[in-house]
Amino acid sequence: MDFTFNILRDGTFLIPKGTYKNRGYSVEAPSAPYRKIGGTTTLTNIEFWTGRQVQLDADVFIRSFTGLDMTPAYNYSSVNLEQGNFKLTKLELIKP
């Protein structure tokens, strides 16, 4: 990276310029897409700049009848850096 990176854009977590490797893994468990109710869960554990990020993603689809598809999605991310730690949570309704 050729410049200092401001992760949250508020000056709290500044990552100095340098060379970084972001290695990790991700595990996903989906259900069958033809069901009326189902979803997917994904766990990701990866190196993140000067630390590590663990992320959990989950979505559930509900097909109550033809023409109505609803998919609420949840995202939780925990980041541990040399500069400090932070957590992010997001809940949204995805349009399929």
State the pTM of this model: 0.76
Q: What is the mean pLDDT of the chain?
A: 89
In this prediction, residue 44 carries a pLDDT of 97
Domain residue extents for the chain: 21-94
Residue pair 40/29 in contact (Cβ under 8 Å)? The answer is: yes
pLDDT in tens, 53-63: 999 999 998 87
What's the rounded Cα separation, in Å, for the pair 75 and 93? 12
**% of the chain residues with pLDDT over 90:** 47
Residue pair 48/83 in contact (Cβ under 8 Å)? The answer is: no
